[in-house]
Amino acid sequence: MEKELSCVDCGTQNCKYKDRTYPEFCLTTGLDDADWQWAVERYDEGDNHRVMVASAEVEYEGYCRLTRVEEIMTFARKMGYRRIGIANCIGLQNEARIFARILRDNGFEVFSVICKAGGKAKSSMGIPKECESIGAAMCNPILQARLLNQAGTELNVVIGLCVGHDSLFYKYSDAYATTLVTKDRVTGHNPAAVLYTSTSYYRNKLKGDK
């Protein structure tokens, strides 16, 4: 099957410049005006434009200077958000507590919902029984989102939700959501480490079947 080329296959990254050369498959030069206009119109919906402006300001003001924790607080202040929600994995409860303490010390209100809220067995939801061998209670990201919605949080922060569970949380969160910690038990929650070692330590482990 012929490989479909897209931005990851580009060696120029010239879309951030003007009057440069682009590959034939470039999404910028081949962009349909209707797609561009659709995106532009979405920035006028709700607070989307304010989010874009605040995000750009945080990037500029904190570039290589502010940590992710500081950036989240700076963004929240620019947006006028005071009530911050935390959706965290039970395995990162300590990290969630530390983050909540930092937020409160900086004048924010905090409301958190842990992933096991509801306390229902995995098998009760049709999840294979063997999955309970690493923990009987199901993760419940949709309930996490609902409870944070009911709590009136203005910005939700994800700390270590599982792959897929985080997807469901983002889908059902009424507030804008961002991620502080991405779960990776093998690398100490530093998934980028696998990318940096993909040609050395992790080369054989990540090699796909040909």
pLDDT at residue 34, rounded to an integer: 97
Q: Is the pLDDT of residue 193 over 90?
A: yes
Q: Is the pLDDT of residue 12 over 90?
A: no
Q: Mean pLDDT throughout 83-110?
A: 98
**Distance of CA 110 to CAs 46, 85, 153, 170, 195, Å?**
24, 6, 8, 18, 34
Quote the DSSP letter at residue 196: H
Cα separation of 16 and 110, whole Å? Answer: 38
Length of the chain: 210
Q: Is the pLDDT of residue 19 over 80?
A: no
H helices present in the chain, as ranges: 33-42, 48-62, 68-79, 93-105, 141-150, 165-172, 192-196, 203-206
CATH code, 67-210: 3.40.50.11840
The sign of the torsion formed by the CA atoms of 182, 183, 184, 189 equals positive
**Among the listed ranges 161-170, 174-183, 194-203, which one has the minimum average pLDDT value?**
194-203
**CB 25 within 8 Å of CB 5:** yes
List, for residues 108-163, the tens digit of each pLDDT value. Answer: 999 999 999 999 999 999 999 999 999 999 999 999 999 999 999 999 999 999 99
**Given 3-state DSSP classes, what are the helix, strand and coil percentages for the chain, each rounded to the nearest 5?**
45, 10, 40
pLDDT band at 13 (very low <50, low <70, confident <90, very high): confident
Q: Where in the chain is the domain with CATH 3.40.50.11840?
A: 67-210
Cα separation of 20 and 77, whole Å? Answer: 38
Give the type of residue at 166.
D
